Structure 1
Amino acid sequence: MLYENDGVSIFDKSKASSGYTIFWPLGTETVMLMDMSGNIAHSWEMGGLPGNYAYLLPNGNLLAAIRTDEHVLGLSAKGGHMVEMDWDGNIVWEHTDHFQHHDFRRLDNGNTCYVRWALMPEDLAAKVPGGMAGAEHEDGIYGDEVIEIDVDGNVVWEWSFATDIEDNSKYPICPIEHRKEWAHANTICPVDGGDYLISFRQNHLIARIDRETKQFTWEMCDWKLGHQHDVQKLESGNILVYANGAHGPYHGPNEGSRIFEIDPATNETVWEYSGSPAYTFDSPFISGCQVMPNDNVLICEGRSGRLFEVTREGEIVWNFNSPYVAPNAPYAPGRSIFRCYRYAADSAEIAGRLGDPS
C-alpha cells in the first residue's frame, strides 16, 4: 500500500552522506538495501519475521535475528534465531536462543553478544521498585541478561541485571509501566576494553558495564531520555542516544522525540536534534540513529517508518518514508522499522558489490 509522499522526498546531493541504507520493515520477511534515490539495490529473503533488524558485517555478510514461535512471553521485540547470511542469502552461521530479544552484535574477535530474558528469582523480583502494582507477568518478573558466545555457541561471558548489580533500588521502573520485566534492555553496544553500553527502556537508564567487575562504571538515569533506544559511543568518546520521549518531561502534547549527544564526563547534552515544530519528529518506541562520515546524523523514526538525515544545524538533507506496509507486524504498526544503518559505497561492507548509490 502506498501513501502520499512515500519514498525519497528530499535528497540534497551536496549535503547528504552518500551510501546504501539497510532496513527491515517490521511485519515483512525481506531485508532491503536501498540507494539514495530509494531504489532497492539488494535484498535478502529471511523466511521469517524480524527480531528486530539486520546489519552488514565488514565481510559483506548479513547478521540478523528472526522471530521464533517458541517461548512467546507476551513481551515485545522477541527474536530467537540469529543468522549470518552471505551476499547470496546462504546461511553460514546460526544460533538459537528463544529468549533472545531486541539486540545482538558481532564482536571483533568473532564472538556474538546479545540480550535475553531470564526469570528472576522470587526474592529478587520482590525487591524490584516501581511500575504499576500487580502488573507482573504471570510467571513473575523477567530480568535481562547479556550473553557472549563463541562461533560454536558456547557461552564465554554473561551478565545479569538481576544478580550482578548490587543495588536495584536505584533503578525503579517507570511508574506507568508494567512490571513484567526489569528492565527491557533494547540495546547492547560493544565498546573498548570488552565493556558494553546498554539501554534499559523501563528505567530511562543507559549505562556502561565493566567486563571484569560487572558493575556500572558510567550511568545516566534520567526521565528526559523518555524510554530511549540505540545508545552508542562515538569516536569522540561522547554518547549518542535516541530519546524517544515517552513518559518523560518532553512528551506532553506535541513534544516529540530527540537525539542527544552526551558528554559522559558531565552527563551534559552537547548537541541535540528535535523536530521543528517538535511534533513532526516523534516515535515513542523502537527507533535509532547513526553518525555519518560527514558528521550528519541518520535517524530512524521507527513508528512511522521514516528514515531521514540531518546536518548538525538541523537541516533535513535526505528523507525517506517507507512504502512497505505489513498488517501483521508482531508488536508495532505496519510501516514501522526498528533500526537502520547506512554504508558508503567504498566501505568494507559494500565495496566491490554495488556501484554508485546516488
Structure 2
Amino acid sequence: MLATLAFCTTATAQDRTVGLHLNEPGAYEGYTLFTPRLSDDTYLIDMEGRLVHEWAGTSPALQVELLPSGMLMRAVDDFHQDFRRNAGKTGRVELVDWDGFVIWSYTLNSSDQHLHHDVLVMPSGNVLMSSWERMSISEAIEAGRDPDAVPDGGLLTERIIEVDPFTDAIVWEWRMRDHLIQDFDSTKSNFGVIADNPGKLDINSYRQVTEDWNHVSGLDFNPYTGEILISGHGQDSIFIIDGSVTSAEAATEAGDFVYRWGNPGNYDQGNFGDRHFQSMHDAQWIAEGLPGEGNILAFNNGFQQGQSSADELVPPLQVDGTYGDIPYGPDELEWIYGGDDPEFYSGAMGGVQRLPNGNTLIAEGAYGEISEVTEAGDLVWYYVNPVLEDYALFWDEEIPSNSAGTIQQNEIFLARRYDASYPGLSGRTLTPGIALEGFLAGDMDQDGFVTLLDVPLFATALVSPGYQNEGDINRDGQVDLLDIDPFLLVLFGG
C-alpha cells in the first residue's frame, strides 16, 4: 500500500506537475475514483485532491466502478502469456468490499478465451464482461478475411458474456463472429453486399495485420430497452445490439447491430473523410435525470489527428424503437469539448461522465489527467494522477513516459465522480486525509525544510514497515540504505 503525503500550500498551479491544479466554485462537489494503471491500488479523493479512501490490491486494474452497495468492481490484470502484449488485457474481475477484501472473483484467461477492458453490473445483479474469442487462421480465412491480413495467431473477435455471480455460470452471450459480412471472396462464408447489411461487420474493415481487430474498449447497458452499447475502438464506431434476446437468438439476425455510428465507411455508406471517431472509449448512455439523458457520450481519442474530444450525440431513435434509415445519423454532434486543442489529447484510453449539474468529467487516460468542464467549455476542476507503479511523484517532479513517449507512467483508464448522497458512500467515513503527491525529498516532518529535525524520522523510516515518500530520495520505490547518501546530500546541501 502506498503511503500518502502532505503537499505544501505554497505550491502554485504553474509550478505543479501532479495533484490538484484547479478547483473552481462551478465544479460539481463529490469524490473522484480512479486507479493508476501501473499500481495495484485504487483511490478515492475529495475536491481538494485529498485521499479519503484507498483500496489496496494485489495486481493493477484497468476499469473500476464503485457500486451502490459500496462494493468496488475491478477488472484486473491476471493475463495469459499469449496476451501479454495486448492492450486492454485483464483476465479477472473482482468484487471488493470497502476494506479491500475480495468477496467474489471470476477468471477467464486461457489462450483462446480472455477477458479484456470493461465490466459492469446489470440491474439483475449479473455481470456483463467483454472478452476475446480466438478465431484460427483457417477459420478467419473461411469467414472471408483477406489472408494477407491474418496474423500468425489468427483473429481475436469480441464475445460479450453475462455471468451469474452466484453460480459463475455464463447465462448469456453474444459473439461478433455470428454477425460478419464480406465482399472479398465469393467462395467463402459471409459473402454479400456490405452496404445492404448495416447490421453486420465487414471482417475486412480493419486490415492491419493484428489479432485484436475489434478492440472493444467499453460496454454500457440500457435498463429501459435492454440494449447494449459497444465501444468499437478498432472500427472507430459505436454499435448497439439487443441484449434482451436469448443467446440462441443473439447468434441469428436478431443479434445484428440495430444501430452504428462513427465510421460509415465501415459499411460502405461513406468514405474515409466521413469518419468521426478516430479510436474511441467509454461510450455510454447519459443516465435518466441527468442533463442530456438518453444521449450518447463518448471519448474520441482523435488518434490520427492528435486531438481528442468528448462527444455527445443524439441517437436517431424512432417511435417504433428503430434508428431510422441508413446511413445512420446524426449528421452533427449535440455537444463537443476539445477537438481543436492540441493540448487536449489522449491517443489511448480515456473516459467521460455526465454530472448532475451538466458538467462533464473527462479522463485523458494516457497522461493521467482528470478534467471537469462546463457545458460552455470552461475548465472548473483539474487533477493529475501522481501515482506511478511503486511510488507517488513529488508535486513538481517530472512525469516519466514510456519509451515511445506516447503514454506517461501515471496513466489511468478512466475516472468517476460520486457525490456524498451516492448510496455506495452511505455510512462511510470520508474524512479527508492528505494528498497523494509528496512535497520535498528528505522533509520527513513535512515542514517545508530539510533540517536536523528530519534525521531521526528518516532513521525510523529506514527500519519501519511501509513506504514513506519523502524518505525515498533515490526514487526506487522503497526507503532503504541506498537512500542514506542522497539524504545526507540533501541535508547538507551537497
Q: Could you tell me which of 414, 420, 424 is aligned with 1:345?
A: 420
Single out whichever of 216-225 and 334-343 deviates more from structure 2: 216-225
Equivalent residue in structure 1 for 2:280, among 228, 249, 252: 228
1:214 aligns with 2:255: yes
Give the CA deviation at 1:174. 4.4
Partners of 2:384 and 2:206 in 1: how far apart? 31
Deviation at 1:121, TM superposition (A): 4.7
Q: 1:85 to 1:243 in 2, by over 3 A?
A: same
The aligned amino acid for 1:116 is S
Q: Distance in 2 between matches of 1:114 and 1:100?
A: 7
Distance 1:88 1:169, change over 3 A: closer
Aligned to 1:67: 77
2:336 pairs with one of 272, 277, 287: 272
Alignment-derived partner of residue 118 in structure 1: 133
Confirm or deny that 1:201 pairs with 2:237.
no
| Partner residue of 1:142 out of 138, 149, 156 | 156
Give yes or no for the alignment of 1:295 onto 2:358.
yes
1:34 aligns with 2:30: no
How many Å apart are 1:155 and its aligned residue?
Answer: 0.7
Q: Does the 8 A contact of 1:229 with 1:241 survive in 2?
A: yes
Q: TM-score, normalised by structure 2?
A: 0.65
1-structure distance, mates of 2:135, 2:213: 9
Mark the CA change 1:122 to 1:174 in structure 2 (over 3 Å): closer, same or farther.
closer
- Whole-Å separation in 2 of the counterparts to 1:339 and 1:129: 33
Measured against aligned partners, the alpha-carbon deviations of 1:276-298 in whole angstroms (never above 9, x if no partner) come to x6111000110100000101000
Does structure 1 conserve the Cα–Cα contact (< 8 Å) formed by 2:311 and 2:337? yes
Is the 2:181–2:202 Cα contact (8 Å) retained in structure 1?
A: no
Larger of the two Rg values belongs to structure: 2
Q: 1:18 aligns with which of 24, 29, 32?
A: 29
Residue 191 of structure 1 pairs with residue 222 of structure 2: yes
Change (3 A) 1:332 1:20: same
Match in the other structure for 1:314: 377
Counterpart contact for 1:116–1:146, Cα < 8 Å: yes
Shift of 1:315: 0.2
The answer for the alignment partner of 2:481 in structure 1 is none
1:8 aligns with 2:65: no
Measured in 2, the distance between the counterparts of 1:200 and 1:121 equals 21
| Match runs of 1:324-339 below 5 Å | 324-326=387-389, 332-339=407-414
> What is the identity, as a one-letter code, of the residue corresponding to 2:65?
Y
Pairwise CA distance, 1:357? 7.1
CA offsets per residue over residues 299-347 of structure 1, 9 Å max, x none?
A: 0000110001000000000000111123899x95311100110100111
Cα distance in 2 for residues equivalent to 1:46 and 1:324 = 14
- In structure 2, which of residues 85, 107, 120 is the aligned counterpart of residue 105 of structure 1? 120
Output the aligned Cα RMSD. 2.5
Q: CA deviation at 1:210?
A: 1.0
**Retained in 1: the 8 A contact 2:137–2:153?**
no
Q: Greater shift after overlay, 348-357 or 293-302?
A: 348-357
SS of the residue aligned with 1:94?
strand
Measure how far apart 1:170 and its partner are. Answer: 3.9
Q: Is the 8 A contact 2:180 2:203 kept in 1?
A: no
1:16/1:179 CA distance change after superposition, 3 Å? same
- Greater fraction of residues in strand: 1
The SS at the match of 1:349 is helix
- Is it true that 1:244 corresponds to 2:254 in the alignment? no
Equivalent residue of 1:182, what SS? coil
- Structure 2 counterpart of 1:288, which letter? G
Structure 1: distance between partners of 2:145 and 2:315: 26
Which amino acid in structure 2 is aligned with residue 257 of structure 1?
S
Runs of at least 5 residues in structure 2 that lack an aligned partner in the other structure: 1-6, 8-14, 183-199, 246-253, 264-274, 317-328, 390-399, 434-494
Structure 1's 59 and 158: CA in aligned 2 closer, same or farther, altered over 3 A? same
- Per the TM alignment, residue 54 of structure 1 is displaced from its structure 2 partner at its CA by 1.1
Q: Aligned AA for 1:269?
A: L
| Structure-1 separation of matches of 2:103 and 2:401 | 29
Instruction: Name the amino acid aligned to 1:348.
Output: P
2:458 maps to none
Contact kept, 8 Å, 1:129 with 1:173, in 2: the verdict is: no
User: 1:226 and 1:348, CA in 2 relative to 1: closer, same or farther beyond 3 A?
Assistant: same
Do the aligned residues in 1 keep the contact of 2:155 with 2:211 (CA within 8 Å)?
yes
Aligned to 2:448: none
Greater helix content: 2
Aligned length: 345
Secondary structure, counterpart of 1:269 in structure 2:
coil
Q: Is the 8 A contact 2:137 2:151 kept in 1?
A: no
Q: Which runs of 5+ in 1 are unaligned?
A: none
TM-score normalised over the length of structure 1: 0.89
Q: CA deviation at 1:351?
A: 2.3
Distance in 1, Cα, partners of 2:55 & 2:420: 19
Is this contact kept in 1: 2:151–2:211, CA < 8 A? yes
